């Protein structure tokens, strides 16, 4: 008899543990109640919706369920189905525009929301609750079970975005749709489409055909951006592409069906070399030899955001024809994109050619402007007038604050968070997208393993981002984004590698309650998403399994420290030209590197098995890291 109470205790504990099992959801919902039991999807299931507005979502769900199960589940309007999608007759104040509740029991599943967007997100949660095989493109045999839960969920921020730069490398509309699919799975609702830059103009403007006849094409070059050769005389520009207006409409519709608004970016007055190559008269020098940049080093960077452009890439703010040009561009852009925002860039505009231009000097005199920098304020205000006349709101990079902009303009803070703080102080709406937390082009692992870019950004740094800075009124912070610049990203597979898992962290930063943040719990869910992504054939970086190797100088000695983003990794190393494994030295504390031409080799293990990349660092690289 004595063992019975302890047996009961063990049984009860098992039940509690089962109930508190981590549900592998990203982003983490606001509230999860786990109940005992589960629901198993079978062939006899039906998907129902109570209002015709939800039909499209029901059809998407049916397609997603039928693909790997091979079932013939149907979507029907009605009330008594297995998976019921219901729109509330009376809005639930807690759920707002995008929230939902999801209840699963052994009998079935119900998702309830105020608007179709909420049902769409409830559907994404349901898909993540199903086994990973749900991501299969072919029929697979498994038990399609989900745990019994009650989830109440809604986003922290209304702007949850990713930006894709399609100028530095062109991505086809099919690529863009696949990128949008992944965004939708993570409950992102804003796709910032960086459509123009020095390296290519990607949107058809019917009244300005040369923008795509000339501006969408550059000479073929490979290699590190900025180190590539300039075009040679007579060399054909064959690399590039653009979206026709029909393509754009198709992508907008596709995104809208996935609750994603597209914010198009036309980057002016700087970053405009492709436009100037098409229409040289838009610049100060009007040089007809201006080309679309293939990623050659036409700029010089001096730190602290100071730079010089050796090829003119800014529109001339003193020329009225430039505003006629912009009016044509924005007339067509505004007619295509139904969203209220148009992004007008404004970043990194070099004013050296303006300073030497007679027209600009006359304009400065006329306006009483002493510093050429402030001409950008004049330009941006003219652009804003154009947008307002078309019923659109201006959003731009934080440089739009320089020289003054109307309080209605929305500021995208990218040079850290200071632009966002300043903008909010001035009463602007702000979207937070600082390089320090949200730049997805930065290297995510060791720069000797991942193709190096000029800066690094680890997953845990992304996850630690708090978009509302201390002392800032949260009402001004619309939300945030991750930005994928593609100077070094030529394919969709690699775009995925750069985006994930960091965009999973940002999805959670922008959706989930601040209080629910928990790195260790998040990384468990990340590892589950790795498995799901493998099934879905989505690429991602495994840099979290690698050692982080830092070097410093202590008492004149080169000292190496190693750590990992995951708490349960063991780090092994060698300095004797042997390959490291779990029988070589285990890292426990900073090591002093002995004198000599030493190579440090580092590997990580978990549960007795190697897991990370081998990192090989010569003394010179360690000295570089130490700042020598």
Token couple for 244: 């026709």
Q: What is the 3-state secondary structure (H, E, C) of 140-207?
A: CCCCCEEEEEEEEECCCCCEEEEEEECCCCCCCHHHHHHHHHHHHHCCCCEEEEECEECCEECECCCC
- Asked whether the CA dihedral 293, 298, 303, 307 is positive or negative, the reply is negative
Selected from 414, 463, 465, 530, the binder of ligand ACM by CB under 6 A is 414
Residue 417: CB minimum distance to ligand ACM, A: 14
∠ CA 97-99-105, rounded to 5° = 145
Residue 307: CB minimum distance to ligand ACM, A: 11
Name which of 465 and 522 has its Cβ closer to ligand ACM.
Answer: 465
Name which of 18 and 455 has its Cβ closer to ligand ACM.
Answer: 455
Query: How many other CB atoms are there within 10 angstroms of residue 256's CB atom?
Result: 13
Name which of 56 and 347 has its Cβ closer to ligand ACM.
Answer: 347
Selected from 144, 170, 337, 397, the binder of ligand ACM by CB under 6 A is 397
Q: Residue number with the shortest CB distance to ligand ACM?
A: 347
> What's the half-sphere exposure (Cβ side, CA atoms, 13 Å) at 30?
17
Instruction: Enumerate the β-bridge partners of residue 85.
Output: 49, 111
- CA 611 to CA 603: how far, in whole Å? 8
For 529-549, b where at least 16 C-beta lie within 10 A, e where not — what string?
bbebbebbebbbbebbbbbbb
Name which of 265 and 429 has its Cβ closer to ligand ACM.
Answer: 265
- CA 257 to CA 338: how far, in whole Å? 13
- Asked whether the CA dihedral 359, 363, 366, 371 is positive or negative, the reply is negative
Site for ligand ACM contains 348 (CB under 6 A): yes
Residue 610: CB minimum distance to ligand ACM, A: 37
Name which of 357 and 399 has its Cβ closer to ligand ACM.
Answer: 399
- CA 499 to CA 354: how far, in whole Å? 37
Total residues contacting ligand ACM (rule CB under 6 A)?
A: 4
Site for ligand ACM contains 402 (CB under 6 A): no
Q: Binders of ligand ACM among 492-531, rule CB under 6 A?
A: none
Contact 504, 527 (CB under 8 A): no
Token couple for 317: 């703010």
Contact 283, 312 (CB under 8 A): yes
Query: How many other CB atoms are there within 10 angstroms of residue 207's CB atom?
Result: 11
Residue 159: CB minimum distance to ligand ACM, A: 16
Residue with tokens 């007055």: 269
Q: Binders of ligand ACM among 37-56, rule CB under 6 A?
A: none
Name which of 171 and 414 has its Cβ closer to ligand ACM.
Answer: 414
Residue 218: CB minimum distance to ligand ACM, A: 19
Name which of 157 and 414 has its Cβ closer to ligand ACM.
Answer: 414
Which residues belong to the active site? 197, 271, 348
Which of the 8 DSSP states describes residue 232?
P
- CA 320 to CA 107: how far, in whole Å? 68
Name which of 133 and 347 has its Cβ closer to ligand ACM.
Answer: 347
- The DSSP code sequence of 532-599 is HHHHHT-----GGGSEEEEEEEETTEEEEEEEESSTT-EEEEESSSSPP-TTSEEP-S-EEPPSSS-E
The interface mask with ligand ACM, positions 55-94, x = CB under 6 A, is: ----------------------------------------
Contact 391, 334 (CB under 8 A): yes
3-state secondary structure at position 104: strand
Selected from 247, 287, 327, 347, the binder of ligand ACM by CB under 6 A is 347
Site for ligand ACM contains 199 (CB under 6 A): no
Residue 414: CB minimum distance to ligand ACM, A: 4
- CA 616 to CA 597: how far, in whole Å? 13
- Asked whether the CA dihedral 216, 220, 223, 224 is positive or negative, the reply is negative
- CA 273 to CA 566: how far, in whole Å? 44
Residue 441: CB minimum distance to ligand ACM, A: 9
| Residue from 49, 47, 48, 43 nearest 72 by CA | 43
Instruction: Enumerate the β-bridge partners of residue 439.
Output: 483
Site for ligand ACM contains 197 (CB under 6 A): no
Name which of 118 and 345 has its Cβ closer to ligand ACM.
Answer: 345
Name which of 325 and 414 has its Cβ closer to ligand ACM.
Answer: 414
Residue 489: CB minimum distance to ligand ACM, A: 14
Residue 397: CB minimum distance to ligand ACM, A: 5
Residue 255: CB minimum distance to ligand ACM, A: 22
- Asked whether the CA dihedral 504, 507, 512, 513 is positive or negative, the reply is positive
Residue 400: CB minimum distance to ligand ACM, A: 11
Name which of 348 and 508 has its Cβ closer to ligand ACM.
Answer: 348
The residues of the shown chain that bind ligand ACM, judged by CB under 6 A, are: 347-348, 397, 414
């Amino acid at each position: 008899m004595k063992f019975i109470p302890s047996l009961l205790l063990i049984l009860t504990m098992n039940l509690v543990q089962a109930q508190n099992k981590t549900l592998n959801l990203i982003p983490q919902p606001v509230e999860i109640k786990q109940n005992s039991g589960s629901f198993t999807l079978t062939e006899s299931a039906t998907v129902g919706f109570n209002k015709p507005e939800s039909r499209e979502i029901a059809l998407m769900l049916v397609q997603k369920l039928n693909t790997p199960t091979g079932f013939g589940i149907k979507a029907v309007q009605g009330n008594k189905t297995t998976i019921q999608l219901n729109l509330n007759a009376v809005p639930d104040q807690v759920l707002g525009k995008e929230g939902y509740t999801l209840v699963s029991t052994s009998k079935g599943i119900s998702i309830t929301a105020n608007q179709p967007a909420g049902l769409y997100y409830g559907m994404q949660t349901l898909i993540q609750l199903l086994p990973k095989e749900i991501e299969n493109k072919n029929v697979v045999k498994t038990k399609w079970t989900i745990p019994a839960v009650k989830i109440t969920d809604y986003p922290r921020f209304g702007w949850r975005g990713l930006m894709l730069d399609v100028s530095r490398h062109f991505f086809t509309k099919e690529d863009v749709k696949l990128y949008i699919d992944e965004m939708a799975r993570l409950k992102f609702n804003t796709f910032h489409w960086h459509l123009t830059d020095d390296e290519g103009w990607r949107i058809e403007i019917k009244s300005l055909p040369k923008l795509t006849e000339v501006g969408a094409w550059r000479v073929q070059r490979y290699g590190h951006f900025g180190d590539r050769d300039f075009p040679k005389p007579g060399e054909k520009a064959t690399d590039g592409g653009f979206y026709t207006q029909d393509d754009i409409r198709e992508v907008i519709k596709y995104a809208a069906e996935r609750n994603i608004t597209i914010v198009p970016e036309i980057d002016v007055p700087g970053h405009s070399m492709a436009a100037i190559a098409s229409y040289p008269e838009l610049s100060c020098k009007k040089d007809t030899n201006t080309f679309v940049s293939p990623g050659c080093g036409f700029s010089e960077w001096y730190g602290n955001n100071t730079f010089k452009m050796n090829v003119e890439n800014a529109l001339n703010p003193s020329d009225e024809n430039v505003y006629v040009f912009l009016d044509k561009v924005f007339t067509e852009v505004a007619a295509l994109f139904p969203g209220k925002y148009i992004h007008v860039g404004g970043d990194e505009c070099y004013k050296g050619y303006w300073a030497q231009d007679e027209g600009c000097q006359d304009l400065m005199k006329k306006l009483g402007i002493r510093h050429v920098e402030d001409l950008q304020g004049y330009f941006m205000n003219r652009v804003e007038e154009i947008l307002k006349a078309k019923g659109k709101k201006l959003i731009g990079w934080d440089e739009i604050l320089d020289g003054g902009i109307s309080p209605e303009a929305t500021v995208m803070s990218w040079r850290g968070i200071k632009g966002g703080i300043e903008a909010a102080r001035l009463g602007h709406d702000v979207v937070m997208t600082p390089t320090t937390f949200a730049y997805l082009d930065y290297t995510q692992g060791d720069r000797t393993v991942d193709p190096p870019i000029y800066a690094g950004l680890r997953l845990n740094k992304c996850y630690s981002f708090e978009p509302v800075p201390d002392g800032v009124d949260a009402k001004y912070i619309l939300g945030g984004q991750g930005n994928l610049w593609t100077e070094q990203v030529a394919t969709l597979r690699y775009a995925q590698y750069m985006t994930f898992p960091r965009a999973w962290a940002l999805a959670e930063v922008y959706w989930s309650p601040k209080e629910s943040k928990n790195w260790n719990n998040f990384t468990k869910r990340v590892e589950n998403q790795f498995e799901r992504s493998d099934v879905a054939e989505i690429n991602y970086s495994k840099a979290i399994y690698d050692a982080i190797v830092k070097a410093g100088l202590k008492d004149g000695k080169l000292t190496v420290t190693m750590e990992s983003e995951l708490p349960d990794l063991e780090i092994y190393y060698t300095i004797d030209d042997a390959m490291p494994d779990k029988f070589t030295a285990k890292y426990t504390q900073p090591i002093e590197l002995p004198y000599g031409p030493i190579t440090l080799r580092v590997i990580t293990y978990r549960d007795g098995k190697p897991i990370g990349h081998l990192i090989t660092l010569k003394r010179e690289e360690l000295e570089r890291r130490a700042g020598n």
